[in-house]
Amino acid sequence: MFRRIEKLRSSSADGTEKKWPFYNFCSLALAAAVLIGAATGRPSEAFANSPAPVQYLGVRLEHADIPDAAYVDILIPIEEDDYTENMAQAVKECGFSEETEAAGYREGGYVSYMFHHRDGEPGKILTGQEPVYTSTPNNGDEVSQRVAYFYTSAQGMEKFQKLKEKYPVIKLALLDVQGNILKISPECTIAKKGSYLTGAVTWDVSSNKVETHLYKRPGPAYLLLMILFLVLPLLLSILLTVVTETAAGLLFRIRPVKWIIRVNLVSNLIFNLALYLTGSSGIPYPMAFVLLEAAVIAAEWRIYTHVYPEFTSRRLLIFSVAANCTSMAAGYFLNVWYL
């Protein structure tokens, strides 16, 4: 490698200096840093607090203190290939009559999921042994809550995916123990393009308002912003290192400084990438920082001895140590000032 660098420094027969394909290398190294960061999830840290998509349909009922309330049903604008005349499972498990009100409901194209969808199932019982939860919103009033879950089995995930893909807009119905409809909610959306449901659908029964918790996936512009957010500190670090170590080279009367700039562009990029990768290896940060900094000093010194043969090896070693300590101190004080 060092012979290659020395050879590239030599002049050609016509007296012009050969160009080192340095900037191409920097471009590839920078692209590698971004890709590795993206592949290891660094840009996605911005989404770490985003709720994960649910794999079932949960219905949270607030102010549902209706004595006869027993079941939650889903009403969907069912398609012919999903329709069944009557779901024996709902009739058997709940003890409903096949002529119950929910089974015969047909308004605005909506029918009972529980009774007429081939994958239909009863909602969780809301009375009896089921717990009642309370929450205290900002106004300080306690709100009673009951939660019904659909698709809690292993195969429920697939059922829920089919439901939200085919019927993203639904209604909710509150039933009594005979399957009579006590209340029907307004339409609510459980799926939109580029988004997913992150929690239970909340239905305030007393005010008859429905709230769905949809998280919109970040678009290309947002992802690009995250990548820029990742790259910007790296570019600032490289700029600070190049400026401080070039200034140190001028103080040490080392010429030409272009090799100091080139070497630091590459070494700083590799240093930051290596430091980033050691972050997930379990190595303590101070130890990794010191070891990598020592490796950078040694590598830069070895390169300088080949690109600056007119200077003594001892002088270049002192310069490499002094320059890197200067840039490290500048970065430290900049961070302290920023924080």
Query: What confidence tens digit (pLDDT) does each residue in 134-169 have?
Result: 554 555 566 677 778 787 666 677 888 888 889 999
Pairing relationship of beta strands 181-184 and 169-175 according to DSSP bridges: antiparallel
**pLDDT above 70 as % of the chain:** 75
For the cut 70, the answer to whether the pLDDT of residue 58 exceeds it is: yes
Residue found under tokens 């700083």: 268
171 pLDDT higher than 70:
yes
Least confident of 58-62, 102-106, 227-231, 266-270: 227-231
pLDDT at residue number 248: 92
Name the residue type at position 37. Answer: G
Residue 167 and residue 150: Cα distance in Å, rounded? 15
Q: Give mean pLDDT, residues 117-140.
A: 60
CA distances in angstroms from 9 to 255, 262, 282, 319, listed in the order given: 13, 13, 41, 21
Domain boundaries, the chain: 2-11+20-47+219-338, 57-212
pLDDT category of residue 61 using cuts at 50, 70 and 90:
confident
Residue with tokens 């809550």: 145
- For the record, the structure tokens of 207 come out as 């005010």
Give CA angle at 53 (47, 54), nearest 5°: 150
Range name among 30-34, 216-220, 224-228 with the lowest pLDDT average? 30-34
* CB 11, CB 18: distance < 8 Å: yes
| Angle, vertex CA 58, rays to CA 52 and CA 59, nearest 5 | 135
pTM score of the predicted model? 0.53
Burial zone of 3 (CB within 10 Å; 0-12 exposed, 13-18 middle, 19+ buried): exposed
Q: What is the mean pLDDT of residues 273-296?
A: 83
pLDDT, tens digit, 9 for 90 and up, residues 182-196: 999 999 999 888 788
Pick the more confident residue, 211 or 56.
211
Q: Residues 284-308, buried b or exposed e (16+ Cβ, 10 A)?
A: eeeebeeebbeebbebbbebbbbbb
pLDDT beyond 50 at 44: no
